[in-house]
Amino acid sequence: MTNNDIKTVINTGQAALGIEFGSTHIKAVLVAPDFSTIAVGSHEWENKLENGVWTYSLEDIWSGVQDAYRDMADQVNQNYATVIRNLSSVGFAAMMHGYMAFNKGDNLLVPFRTWRNAMTADAAKQLTTLFDFNIPQRWSIAHLFQAILNQEAHVKDVAFMTTLAGYVHWQLTGEKVLGVGDASGIFPIDSQTGDYDEAMIEKFNQLKAVQQYHWTLRDILPTVKTAGEVAGRLTDEGAKLLDPSGLLTGGAIAAAPEGDAGTGMVSTNSVKQRTANVSAGTSAFAMIVLGKALSEVHEDIDMVTTPDGSAVAMVHANNCTSEINAWARVFKQFSQAIGVDISNNDLYGALFQSALDGRPDAGGLLSYGYHSGENITGVSEGRPLFVRTPNAEFNLPNLMRMHIFSAFGAVKIGLDILKQEDVAMDSVVAQGDIFNTPVVGQKLLAAVMDAPVTLMTNAGEGGPWGMAVLGQYVTMRREDESLADFLEKRVFANQDSTTMAPDPVDVTGFEEFMVRYKAGIGIEQVAITALTDEPVVIKEEERDIHVGELEAAGV
């Protein structure tokens, strides 16, 4: 499209807006009717550990999304000399899972508890047994039930609970709904009805601990919507909340809010059975759309759905790239200390490229980039850790190869479970910032998956673009056109992509690394006990002992 064509699209209200709240960025993407990107806005944010809970404040949510929208709108003004007044459709997505509970006055009862919190082990275990269905610690129902088990005072006042995407959608449209994919991270979905599993809801309501409350579970859950259904409209009040300048008006049709897993499936054209995708950022997850049911319940496998309700096996790791970013910051500080100004693109490019020169197994180095607990490996708290034997080959190529391998270590454990289940994958598409450096991330992920990995040209835009496309599916779908057909025949018909097959040497090297990775988990457990953030206080009697030892030694 020419600039004049794009300007006409904007001025006539034909553009679609997708917004996604990721772990480290809030992104707003404006998309044309031909599915090309018009403008992208971004806002950096960071979760905070407050009173033992990983959270984001409501203030940060709204100031962040307004900044991302403003950044995107400024690009529109600069590049096309116009402003956004109307939109054809909108869609809001966010990190899945977590817990946002509100009272009858629509007030948040406790700070938002994100997916990152590994604090619901008892609840998750009990519910998994009750339902004979895996309930991960991240899921909203696990957070609610743990609050019940803990006898938290706020539970009696719960009138509505939802996810971050559901909250934002509610505030901007007035609708308390969720897309089925995001809803599947709140409570199990019945694949036959496309709604919450009614039998499981009844089992939950019959629990003695639950019956003390005035509410029943169905009363406080958001309504489930499937991709393609209208989920409300952007209200005038919502438009002003999103764009305080007052230029944007309400009226845009809203798609059902989705989780980042769902938008990842859309943006990688992975909603058909036997397709798979991997998203890698602060967390990492591999999604495989199942062709058949799993033979048994696996506590390391989440059973969720695509945005149109198909069953998906999800391997979710709480930690992925945070430790890579931490090391990159150290290298940047070193470059600044010696008077070298290097851009982040050049820095990450050099670091990642070096990994290709590392030993296949990373030279005996080992790390765990656990900034928070990791459920798959049974680690309850984060302790980023790098360890090596004296004879390990400690150099930059091995260091970076180790970090990239480690970023996918927990995911690999879950993938091995699905391999034992004979889960078939016809294709694997990857997205995330870890793949921005050409070849490196893609080549090493192919070794992790032991399968060809494809990157698409929109990999850097990812989830928010996928959310915009879900909005376009609502407004542009033809009668009886499935989401899979809409994506394959219209959205991705002319999409450029590259595919890389696994190198047998890399595959073997990663398998050797994983032997070391699994064997070293106990080191993480010891680190949790030995290292805390509490200040070290030496008691007076201990100080006297140490002084006495020094005097005895003649010091």
Would you say 41 and 73 are in contact if contact means Cβ atoms under 8 Å apart?
Answer: yes
Burial 65-79 (b: 16+ CB within 10 A, else e): bbbbbbbbbebbeee
Q: What is the CATH number of domain 269-458+503-534?
A: 3.30.420.40
Q: How far apart are CA 395 and CA 368, in angstroms?
A: 18
Fold of the CATH domain 3-261: Nucleotidyltransferase; domain 5 (3.30.420)
Rounded Cα distance, 236 and 512, in Å: 57
pLDDT at 533: 79
Contact 454, 499 (CB under 8 A): yes
pLDDT higher than threshold 70 for residue 546? no
pLDDT score for 293: 84
DSSP string across 216-259: -HHHHSPEEE-TTS---B--HHHHHHH-TTS---S--EEPPPEE
3-state secondary structure of 346: helix
**What is residue 314's predicted lDDT score, i.e. its pLDDT?**
92
Collapsing DSSP to helix, strand or coil, 165 comes out as: helix
User: Token digits for 29?
Assistant: 């993407």
Q: What is the pLDDT of residues 314-346, one digit of tens each?
A: 999 999 999 999 999 999 999 999 999 999 999
Question: What ranges in 119-273 are assigned the alpha helix state H?
Answer: 121-131, 140-149, 164-173, 180-183, 198-205, 217-220, 236-242, 260-267
pTM over 0.85: no
- CATH 3.30.420.40 placement within the chain: 3-261, 269-458+503-534
* The pLDDT value given to residue 495: 80
- Whether the pLDDT of residue 540 is over 70: the answer is no
Mean pLDDT in residue range 451-480: 88
Rounded to whole angstroms, the Cα distance separating 13 from 218 reads 37
Counts of helices then strands in the chain (DSSP H, E): 20, 23
Q: Which two tokens stand for residue 407?
A: 């970023």
Q: Calculate what percentage of the chain has a pLDDT beyond 70.
A: 96
